[in-house]
Chains A and B, each alone.
Chain A
Amino acid sequence: GDSVTQMEGPVTLSEEAFLTINCTYTATGYPSLFWYVQYPGEGLQLLLKATKADDKGSNKGFEATYRKETTSFHLEKGSVQVSDSAVYFCALSVSGSSNTGKLIFGQGTTLQVKP
């Protein structure tokens, strides 16, 4: 079945460090890929998305490129800030005849940025 695998956390970085959070997926059909972020005490928010192969999603300095050949959608940011401390979720939805109207989420990766 469709699934998403994220690197395990927590990831602890110093401010201004480079961030990569790995995400790989398994899907039938043609998935759209997403990164959601959950700040402490809040619900999830869409961070960025890519709907087809080679698309790059970007927002707030974060980027992720939809790589069909490696079934990956790694999240990157060049210089993290303390305010980026949160839990990051990779997710997919699959369009087509079997669309069941749901997002499939990875386990989430906790990022902690220290000053």
Chain B
Amino acid sequence: DSGVTQTPKHLITATGQRVTLRCSPRSGDLSVYWYQQSLDQGLQFLIQYYNGEERAKGNILERFSAQQFPDLHSELNLSSLELGDSALYFCASSVGQLNTGELFFGEGSRLTVL
């Protein structure tokens, strides 16, 4: 158990819809990262937050947004969903702002868009 909690574990929805994925980091971790894992793209970094502030942005689509709340949990919002958004979305956390590579990953939220 990494200590990172993601909900929901599975989600099935239709094209055009909007979903919210939630992540609670390990106790004491201030940084939260979101990654998308798909068969064709592999593991892609989406975005990082540190103590409520956006710190780094990767290959995140404009239809996607995220935020980190004062209690440090984070949400990833995916809107106008397309079939290609079907993937496993991972949240990870770490203690500090700079990425030393020691990330703790949740079990992921599997999104299926039909």
Interface residues of B, Cβ cutoff 8 Å to A: 2, 4, 31, 33, 42-43, 45, 48, 50, 55-58, 90, 92, 97-103, 105-108
Q: A43-B2, A43-B106, A101-B50 are in contact. Are A107 and B42 (CB under 8 A)?
A: yes
Output the residue of B55, B57, B99, B102 with the most chain A CB within 10 A: B99
Least Cβ–Cβ distance between A95 and chain B, in angstroms: 7
Q: How far is the CA of A71 from the CA of B88 in the complex (A)?
A: 30
Residue of B nearest to A50 (CB): B101
In the bound complex, residues from chain A placing their C-beta under 8 Å from that of B101 are: 32, 34, 46, 49, 91-93, 103
Q: How many residues of A contact B (CB 8 A)?
A: 24
Set A41, A102, A105: member contacting B107, Cβ < 8 A: A41
Q: In the complex, what residues of B have CB within 8 A of residue A99's CB?
A: 98-99
18 A-B pairs in the complex with CB atoms less than 8 angstroms apart = A32-B100, A41-B107, A43-B90, A43-B105, A43-B106, A43-B108, A49-B101, A92-B101, A93-B100, A99-B99, A100-B58, A101-B31, A101-B98, A102-B48, A102-B99, A103-B101, A105-B43, A108-B42
Give the A-B pair count, Cβ closer than 8 A.
68
Taken together as a complex, chains A and B put the C-alpha atoms of A106 and B98 apart, in Å, by: 20
- The answer to whether B107 and A42 have CB atoms under 8 Å apart is yes
Q: Does A25 contact B (CB under 8 A)?
A: no
Most chain A CB within a 10 A radius of its CB, from B55, B58, B100, B108: B100
Q: A92's closest neighbor in chain B, by CB?
A: B101
Q: Mark A69-100, 1 if CB is under 8 A from B, else 0.
A: 00000000000000000000101110100011
CB distance from B104 to the nearest CB of A (A): 8
> Which residues of A are in contact with B by a Cβ distance under 8 Å?
32, 34, 41-46, 49, 89, 91-93, 95, 99-108
Q: How far is the CA of A95 from the CA of B102 in the complex (A)?
A: 13
Q: Are A43 and B107 in contact (CB under 8 A)?
A: yes
CB distance from A91 to the nearest CB of B (A): 7
**Cα–Cα distance between A43 and B105 once the two chains are bound (Å):** 5
